[in-house]
C-alpha cells in the first residue's frame, strides 16, 4: 500500500535541540509510524511492531522557516509543586518549521506480529472510516501539525525521492523512541530516485540489554 500525505506546516525537533528547536529536514520513521497509529485509532505503540515503512519526499525539499514562540520551563522542587507563574517560567524560544511537506508512505505488514495487520486497518479506514474509532486531529509530529489529508498515492502527485537505508548516509533519523527514557534508535539514510528493498525500515522496539550477572561474594579464608 502506498499513501500520499499533505502537511502544510510541521516540525520534527532534533533530540539534542534545547533553546533553539532545530528540526529534522525529513519526517522520521518513528513519527510516521505514530501518525499511522493515530489514523487507525490505535493507542498502543507496540501492537504493530514489525511493520516496514518506506518514506519518500515528493517534489523539492520543504523550505525551513524560523519563528519565535513562548516556551515554559518548569522547575521541579518542593517550593514549586504545581505552581508555575508565566512571569517566572516562560521565555522566548526559537523554532524551525517545515512548510508544504508532501510525503509518500509505503506500508508492508508481511512481518508484523499483530493478527489484524496495520495495512488492513489503513485500508478499512480509507474505504469505510465509520468502522473505526479515533479521537483528536490527525497530526504529523506535534498536535498543532495537522495534515490536510491522507489518501492513496497517484502518479499525478509527482515523482518520489525515497529515503534509503545507508550506513554512510548524511541523513540520520529516529526509527523508535523510548517514551520512558526519551532515548531513540537511529538509522542513517540517503536518497534514491528508484524504490529499492533498502527503502523499507522495520519499526521494532530494541530489546533491552540483559542485566549484568551479579558477582558472587568472595569466601573468607
Which distant-in-sequence residues (6+ apart) come within 8 Å of 36 by Cβ?
A: 53, 105, 107, 118, 122
The dihedrals phi and psi of 29, each to the nearest 5 degrees, come to: -55, -35
Residue 191: count of CB within 10 angstroms of its CB: 17
In a domain, residue 84? The reply is no
In a domain, residue 40? The reply is yes
pLDDT at residue 209, rounded to an integer: 42
In a domain, residue 176? The reply is yes
In a domain, residue 79? The reply is no
In a domain, residue 147? The reply is yes
Residue 119: count of CB within 10 angstroms of its CB: 18
DSSP element (H, E) containing 125: helix 118-127
In a domain, residue 207? The reply is no
pLDDT at residue 201, rounded to an integer: 95
Q: What is the pLDDT along the chain (221 residues), one digit of tens a residue?
A: 999 999 999 999 887 766 778 899 999 999 999 999 999 999 998 999 999 999 999 999 999 998 777 666 555 555 555 555 555 666 667 788 999 999 999 999 999 988 999 999 999 999 998 888 888 889 998 888 999 989 999 999 999 999 999 999 999 999 998 766 667 789 999 999 999 999 999 999 887 543 343 344 444 44
DSSP 146-176: B-SEEEE--GGG--EEEEEE-TT-SEEEEEE
In a domain, residue 154? The reply is yes
In a domain, residue 210? The reply is no
pLDDT at residue 220, rounded to an integer: 42
pLDDT at residue 202, rounded to an integer: 95
Looking up cell 523554532 gives 95
Quote the pTM value: 0.83
Residue 132 belongs to domain with CATH number:
3.30.70.2660
How many domains in the chain?
A: 1
3-class SS of residue 49: coil
pLDDT at residue 215, rounded to an integer: 41
Range of the domain at 188: 2-58+97-202
Amino acid at each position: 500500500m502506498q499513501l500520499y500525505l499533505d502537511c502544510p506546516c510541521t516540525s520534527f525537533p532534533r533530540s539534542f535541540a534545547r533553546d533553539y528547536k532545530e528540526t529534522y529536514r525529513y519526517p522520521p520513521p518513528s513519527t510516521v509510524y505514530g501518525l499511522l497509529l493515530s489514523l487507525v485509532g490505535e493507542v498502543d505503540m507496540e501492537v504493530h511492531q514489525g511493520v516496514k515503512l518506506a518514506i519518500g519526499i515528493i517534489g523539492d525539499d520543504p523550505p525551513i522557516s524560523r519563528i519565535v514562540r513562548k516556551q515554559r520551563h518548569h522547575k521541579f522542587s518542593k517550593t514549586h509543586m504545581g505552581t508555575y507563574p508565566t512571569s517566572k517560567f516562560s521565555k522566548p524560544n526559537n523554532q524551525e518549521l517545515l512548510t508544504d511537506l508532501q510525503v509518500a508512505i509505503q506500508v508492508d505488514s508481511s512481518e508484523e506480529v499483530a493478527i489484524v495487520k496495520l495495512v488492513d486497518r489503513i485500508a478499512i479506514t480509507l474505504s469505510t472510516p465509520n468502522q473505526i474509532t479515533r479521537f483528536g486531529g490527525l497530526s504529523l509530529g506535534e498536535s498543532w501539525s495537522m495534515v490536510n489529508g491522507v489518501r492513496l498515492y497517484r502518479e499525478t502527485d509527482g515523482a518520489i525521492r525515497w529515503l534509503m537505508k545507508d550506513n554512510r548516509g548524511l541523513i540520520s533519523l529516529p526509527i523508535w523512541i523510548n517514551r520512558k527514557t526519551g532515548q531513540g534508535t537511529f538509522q542513517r539514510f540517503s536518497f534514491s530516485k528508484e524504490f529499492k528493498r533498502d527503502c523499507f525500515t522495520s519499526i521494532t522496539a530494541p530489546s533491552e540489554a540483559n542485566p549484568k550477572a551479579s558477582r558472587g561474594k568472595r569466601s573468607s579464608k
